[in-house]
Amino acid sequence: MIMEEEIFRKSPPELKKAPNLQDYELMYGNFSQDFMEKELDYWEGKVNAAYNAIDRHAAGWRKNKIALHWAGERETADFTFLDLKEESDRFANLLVKCGVRKGDRVFIFLPRVPELYISFIGILKTGAIAGTMFSAFGPSAIKDRLKDSGAKCLITNSELKKRVDSVMGELPELKTVIVTDSVHSGDGVVSYSEAEKMPASYEIARMEPDDYAFMLYTSGTTGKPKGVMHCHKAVIHEHITAKWVLDIQDDDVYWCTADPGWVTGIAYEILGTWSNGATSVIYEGRFDPEKWYSIIEKYKVNVWYTAPTAIRMLMQAGDAYKKCNIGSLRHLCSVGEPLNPEAIRWGLKAFGLPFHDNWWQTETGGILIANYPVLDIKLGSMGKPFPGVTAAIVDDEGRILPQGAEGNLAIKPGWPSMMKAIWNNLPKYNEYFRNGWYISGDRARVDKDGYFWFIGRADDVIKTAGERVGPFEVESALIEHRAIAEAGVIGKPDALRGEIIKAFVKLRPGFSPSAELESEIKDYIKVKLAGHAYPREIAFVDSLPKTRSGKIMRRVLKARELGLPVGDLSTLEEY
């Protein structure tokens, strides 16, 4: 059933400032890739995303402009574009001294501290491939990513290094660990402070546009996380979408709340936004409504990009926003999961501004469908395709479906930030494409005005608080617990987080369900896998629905949990 549309009209646009993209329909109809190419700097066809994000500004009038306002828990720091250029040059020189070469995988395992951003830029300058990991990851998640990628070097701190040390014996290719808060070097460990001794200049690697720049691991339903590869030319799409969707302008202060362990934190906290010369705010600490509002007030944030879960948590905090002067805000955006209409209404009430939802994925590398400052918002809609992007709703054979029909959300391949590969897994990469379309794995519909509407996932991937969690990975961790014989995991709808993880577990002989055991299992997964990947609900069961081949039927678990029809049970082993 399609609900009646609620539209926030912008005719005439009630905007605090004229947007960068002033006529969507005209630009969509006349867009060409050549237009984007002119936005960036090249060396006779060669390119480097780090140069476009930082160095070209450091060589011009923006060199003394603040690129980064960093706010830690107890301290703050500011960095100009020239500061970031010189610091990342020093770090690039350190990497080379450590033996890092073009194509090597270099991973970052840090909280949102300045060293994370400096080292990411430095890695790209060398031609190596940067990988990022959430600081909440436990040993199992760390090992999977570092082992699969064959990472040669890792940047971390002394506290997080303890988790790495517990799996170091299973990572023979990891030769160097650079520790940000250590002053000692030796036995494969290098102090980050060694970079201070390096020259503040570096000859940036001139890369082919399709050379790999960074990789991110995304969760699937039937196996370990897969390494999604992005190339240097991805910065082209990230740049122009930051300009037209996030509407970043030269005198703006911009705050993206995402962690660079997530693709948003790379595309729109490092590359695309700094490529536009933005002054960015980065906050290291945990979510806290009053702290967030105080950051907006202190740094006079104009453009704010956050996640639906954070917006819902701010809504729960009531009138906390009234304690700070947040009148600097002029444009609000949201990403990570569908944004419900109530959150948009609340934005209008609290800030006098609507949140603009947009849609994209780790695999797409940048925004593909969006709500724009210049267009009306249909509350609950993902918006319209970005200029140069062809989107459609197709059936399982790749045939375009009529307006209003539910189907697979598909994109014509070829946009600049499209993933180039799945690391060492060509068959998996090929699964994303069907009859000339990139099949996103999302179900959606498109209306008569060209607005797209998200319906749900076509697979079992769980989106909790904006993070993708693969049920297989959680199930694999669960059955390593001493008490658990079998486990099945689903995403359960949740008003605050979008979905929560619910686990159905069958215990081994000798163990009985209890509140204490449930708490122990949750803590076990938090430590082993990640702080966001633990089951918030656990059901102890005598058996799990499985196929005759032994595959757990998550759709049956989900249907039973939600009181929905279970569908065809012909493959159940007890059928």
Domains (range + CATH), the chain: 7-19+33-445 (3.40.50.12780), 462-562 (3.30.300.30)
pTM (two decimals): 0.84
pLDDT at 573: 47
Give average pLDDT by consecutive 10-residue segment, the chain, 575 residues. 69 78 95 84 94 98 98 95 98 98 98 98 98 92 95 97 96 97 87 97 97 89 82 97 97 96 96 97 94 97 92 88 95 88 91 96 97 95 97 94 93 97 96 96 92 79 76 80 89 87 92 94 89 91 72 80 67 42
pLDDT at 528: 84
pLDDT at 515: 94
Best CA proximity match to 383, nearest among 324, 322, 447, 326: 447
Helix or strand (DSSP H, E) at 56: helix 56-58
Positive/negative CA dihedral, 62, 63, 69, 70: positive
pLDDT at 35: 80
C-alpha angle 31-35-39 in degrees, rounded to nearest 5: 140
pLDDT at 158: 96
Q: What is the largest CA-CA distance in the chain?
A: 72
- Tokens of residue 6, six digits: 């609620």
pLDDT at 366: 98
Helix or strand (DSSP H, E) at 234: helix 234-244
- Tokens of residue 397, six digits: 């054979």
